[in-house]
Structures are given as structure tokens and as C-alpha cells.
Structure 1
Amino acid sequence: MFANSAQAFTSQEEKAHVDQKDDHWMQGLHETVSDSVYQSAQWFDSFFIANDSEEQQNPTTTAKIRFAWLPKSRDWSEVKTRFRIRVKLPHFQDRVSLVLSDEADDQLNNLPLESANTNSSVEEEKFSLALNYTQEKRDDRLMNYRLGISGGDIFVRAKHKRRFDLSPTQSFLVEPSLYYFLDEGLGAKLLLEYDYQLSKKSQFRINYSIRGSAEFSGIRWKHGFYKLHQINETTASVISLQVEGERNGERGFVVDNYTLGYRYRFNALREWLFFEIEPFLEFPEDKNYTTTPGIALRIEGYFHKG
């Protein structure tokens, strides 16, 4: 009996030692990424110091890194790595921020809650670097401007966001934006959103967006229907149905794809580490709307300092 107790105690010691090593490794990773982004932000912000006697202020940095594997019945090899870094520059009273990402600027084709988006032919992967200026920011409105480069193309964009509370349980969002790319020309997008609060932890949401551009004929449109549920403090889920297509183009009105999905998101191991599991069904036009099952597995890390 004593031998078994000693063996169990030794196993517990070994497990505690392994846990401490894991803790040290994960904490070291978080600090290394946070410090690296922060130091780069300080270096960039120092260019705006008027003179040597002026004291440099501390910037605020936020970084998000995502690893995703999106196997489908016809393609099991799709792996996506994403990063997004945002730096608020204190010498501009935090109205100006630097946004660095390996995605096209704001993913113009996507809805706010869209996540699977396995149709890479619609929006190819791009690199984006931009200065973002916020003229006005309140709880119910936002007005900002962005100037940068995306996929080797220089662009400028203006976006206005306004939210209206219709009742204690209902709200409506209007978000028009106007953008211009040197290579692609002038474009515009309108996003509409309706939210209905079913309970304290449950919400129904409808998104609708239309987008036109000199780059393509017709108008791109997309609908999104979502049921959001907060399971507990660290876990949430989203049931989604998305429909996208175009109208007034060369082919008239057409539906490109239907996507039905269930997204399960939880926080584990560290407060800055999140995991997602999202099984989905696609019905793409180019496959004659044949059912295409798939699943998205994601890991996201958030790094903040300032």
C-alpha cells in the first residue's frame, strides 16, 4: 500500500513538473510576442516626436494570430495562418492607429460573423498595411478613414457606422463605406444588421451586405442569419446560414453558394488562448449545389500590451 502511495505521489510530482514547464513555455511565448510588437510600435511612434526634449508616450498594441485547418470532402489540405496587428499611436491622441495584416483590407467580401469562408477564389489572400484615422467614436456611431496598401495596390477608404436602438431588445446597424483602389478603381459597400435579444445570453442576428466596384460588373450581395448563444463565461456558439451571389451582372441574378454551419468557441489553458470547432455544409454553384461537408479547426492567440 505504501509503495503504491509513493508511486502515486511521484507521478503527481512529475505531472506538476511538466505543468510548470508548459506554463513557463506558454507564458514565455506570450511575453515574447507581446514585447516584440510593443517595441516595434515604440520605434514607429518615436518618428513623430517633435524634439529630443519631448517625452515619448507608451503606445497600445494588440495582436491576433490564428492557425486554422479547413478540411472538406474534396480538399483535405487547406491550412490557413492569419495575423493582425493594431498599434494605437499616442502622439495623435490615439486617433491614429497602424493596422498590419496578412488579409485583404477588412475582407470586403465578408460579413462580420463570417468565419468558414473556404471559397478562396472570391477573395485571394493579400497583405495589408494601413494608417487608420478615427474622427468620431461613440457607443452608437463611428467615423473613420484608412489609407494604405493591400495586395500591392494603394487604397483609401472612408467608413461610417451608426447603430439605432429600436427597443430594449432590438437594434439596427447601418454601415456604408466608400473606397478607392488605384488598380481596381472606385467601389462602395453597404452593410445592414438587425439584432434581436432573445434573452440575456441569446441573440438572433440578420446581416445583409451589397458591394459594387469598377473591378467587376453587377452587384455582389450576401445574407447572413445567426443564432448566438453564450453557454458560460468562457464558451459560446453560433448557428449560421449564409447565402451569397450577384445580381445585375452578366449572368443576371445568381446564387453562388449556401453555407450552413455550427461554430463552437471556447477559452482554455490561458485567458489569451481560444479554440474553435466549426462543422459546416456548403452548396456551391460550381459543384451544381452538391452538398460539400467540411470542418474548421482553429487556434487563436491574443497579445495585448500598453
Structure 2
Amino acid sequence: MNIFWLSCVFFSISATTQAETQNAHSDGAQSIWMDEWHRSLSATFNEQAQAIDGWFSDTDIPKQTAGASGKVRFGWEPRSTDLAGFDTRFRIKFSLPSLKNRVDLLLSDDEDENLEDNIRTSREIDSQRQNTTLALRFFSPNFAHVSYRIGFGRRDQVFARATYRDYYKINEKITLLYDSQAYYYNRDRWGTEAGASILYERSGKVLDRLNHRWYFSDKDNEFKWRLEAQRYTRLGPQSTWINTLYLSGYSRPNMHTEQVLVSTKLRSNPLRKWLFFEVEPYVLWLKKEDFKATYGIALRFEAFYGKGNAFNF
């Protein structure tokens, strides 16, 4: 699992025993519609995972341990220059035990998991029209921190990617996360990226994160960079406040900033441990709009489902 989520799970997806007790139906009454929808969604994707896993099984007995996990997010992110701003995000992981749990099938609406929590307008500028991605992820049998992907993505291109990801705990409060990737697309050709994050746990309720990431495109012969600073403040067992400063830019025609984003977000799961609500007021400055400030607010709900942990992508 990405160690960042291990560090932030205490802040952003805390689901304590107390919360579970509050959400339980002690009288055994019939679950309300959202629970039925959640069970149906999980069952549907688990059945798909078992069917796919059966393709690789050497017996006719279905692998009941095969399963799927993922998340789906719906949002409305209007701003002063764009009142529509509707956004849908999804990510699905199929676990395939017939392949010795060394291979996953991944399906998402974007290849870059590092952008999945960004404001839609900000994400569209950074992703450069990347779209639905379907890939097989292989874990290296010899190197625990290395994985590979092959599949289709970024405007229907065939791609292959190698990823190295690890972390180093500097002390009890500070952790360094780092990763690097190299990939090839049949039209965009070679590309690389590297990133590092510093996590600083100030207290049991406050976590700071500073992330810097670089991308290089062989086709465009340019670098893209991103800088992000965040503070996670735990308000209670089911709520987190997240303040964000985000900048990104390019190296051509010269090193410049493309956008600046400042936001503050309240994330909470008061009804179910798998269902989150977010309210995020933000201010966005874009180079293509002459850095005139635009104001907006994002309203979202996000549902996690299925077997295992949906963050393990």
C-alpha cells in the first residue's frame, strides 16, 4: 500500500469502533437503500473479478477469494467562469489469486493517481487530456518496491511502465516518500517522472505534507513540475480539515508557472465509514486566463467498495 495513505488514514478515513457501532443496525432491521446499493455494487465487481480470475485458473471451480475494490466520486465544482464543472472519477482494482496475487487488473478514468484529488479544472491542465486507462500491474518477484504495468491509456495508446516506490522514516515524526517511473507510449514515446514527499506529523491531530514532482516528455522535449503543500487537521473521528497550496508549470518556452490553486476542504463520513462528503472552497489562478483570480466551491461525495483496501493502487 502507498505509505502516504498509511500515514493519512488516521486523518482522512478514520473509521473507529465507535463510529461503526453508531452506524450498526442493532435491531437487525432492514438496511436502508444506500447499504443495499453498496452491497450490490461490491457484489457486481466481485463477480467480475471472479470471472476474470477464472480465465487463469487450472480448475473449473471458481476462485471465491478473487475480488475487486475501488471508489467512485461524483462532484460539482463550479467557479466564477464555469458554473457547470461537473466531475466524475472512478478507480477499480481486480485482485487475481490465480496469478499468485502478483498481478492486478486496474481500470480508472486517469493514469495519474497523483492527480485524483485535484480540482477538475486544475487536473485537466496537468493531465493533458489523459483518459480511461486499463492496465495489468505486475509485481516484481525479486524487488519488493518495483512494479510494472502494460495496458491502454492516454488517448487510446498502448503503454508500458516500470515504477519504483519506497519510503524512509527519518524519525518518529518525519517520513520521506519517493518514487520514480519510466514509461513508453506508442505515439507519445518515452517519458519519465520522479517525486518525493515529506510527511511531518506535528501531533496526533495535525499532519503536514510537502510534495514535489517532475515529469519529462520525450515527444515534447519539456519538463512539467508540480509543487503541493497540505495540512491535514483531524477534527474528530469522522472529519478532517485539509488546507492546500498547489502550483504547476512547464519548462518551455522557459520555466514558468501554469496555475496556482489555494483551497480548504472539509472531508467527513458521518453516515457510513465507506461514504465520504467533501466541501472545498477554492481560488484558482490560470496563466491562460492572465492569472485573474476565479473563485469556486467543490461539492462531492465519494464511495469506497469491495474487497480489500481501495487505496492500494
The alignment's TM-score, normalised by the length of structure 2, stands at 0.83
Q: CA deviation at 1:127?
A: 1.0
Code of the aligned partner of 1:144: S
Q: CA deviation at 1:288?
A: 1.3
Quick one: distance in 2 between partners of 1:136 and 1:259?
A: 41
User: Paired residue for 2:289?
Assistant: 287
Identity over the aligned pairs, expressed in percent?
A: 27
Q: CA deviation at 1:121?
A: 4.1
Code of the aligned partner of 1:149: F
User: Paired residue for 1:88?
Assistant: 95
SS at match of 2:302: strand
SS at match of 1:105: coil
SS at match of 2:160: strand
Quick one: distance in 1 between partners of 2:172 and 2:142?
A: 22
Code of the aligned partner of 2:136: L
**The one of 157, 169, 172 aligned to 1:165:** 169
Contact 1:136/1:142 (<8 A) preserved: no
Quick one: distance in 2 between partners of 1:105 and 1:111?
A: 9
Q: CA deviation at 1:214?
A: 1.7
Which structure would you say has the larger Rg? 1
Contact 1:57/1:91 (<8 A) preserved: no
Q: 1:137 to 1:79 in 2, by over 3 A?
A: farther
User: Paired residue for 1:128?
Assistant: 133
Code of the aligned partner of 2:179: E
Q: CA deviation at 1:49?
A: 1.2
SS at match of 2:39: helix
Deviations 1:276-298 (A, max 9, x none): 11111111111111111111111
User: Paired residue for 1:269?
Assistant: 271
Code of the aligned partner of 1:78: G
User: Paired residue for 1:254?
Assistant: 256
**The one of 43, 47, 54 aligned to 1:39:** 47
SS at match of 2:32: helix
Code of the aligned partner of 2:72: I
Contact 2:247/2:261 (<8 A) preserved: yes
Residue 112 of structure 2 is aligned to residue 106 of structure 1 = yes
User: Paired residue for 2:79?
Assistant: 72
Residue 239 of structure 2 is aligned to residue 231 of structure 1 = no
User: Paired residue for 1:5?
Assistant: none
Report 1:203-214 matches (<5 A): 203-214=207-218
Q: Where does structure 1 lack aligned partners over 5 or more consecutive residues?
A: 1-19
Q: Where does structure 2 lack aligned partners over 5 or more consecutive residues?
A: 1-28, 309-313
SS at match of 2:51: helix
Deviations 1:242-295 (A, max 9, x none): 111112x2x211111110010110002222111011111111111111111111
The alignment's TM-score, normalised by the length of structure 1, stands at 0.85
Quick one: distance in 2 between partners of 1:57 and 1:100?
A: 21
**The one of 288, 296, 299 aligned to 1:297:** 299
Quick one: distance in 1 between partners of 2:142 and 2:49?
A: 23
Q: CA deviation at 1:160?
A: 0.7
Quick one: distance in 2 between partners of 1:111 and 1:175?
A: 15
Code of the aligned partner of 2:132: F
Quick one: distance in 2 between partners of 1:215 and 1:117?
A: 25
Code of the aligned partner of 1:170: I
Larger relative contact order (Cα-Cα within 8 Å, sequence gap ≥ 6): 2
Code of the aligned partner of 1:142: H
Contact 1:111/1:209 (<8 A) preserved: no
Name which of structure 1's ranges 122-131 and 38-47 shifts more when overlaid on structure 2: 122-131
Quick one: distance in 2 between partners of 1:63 and 1:170?
A: 29
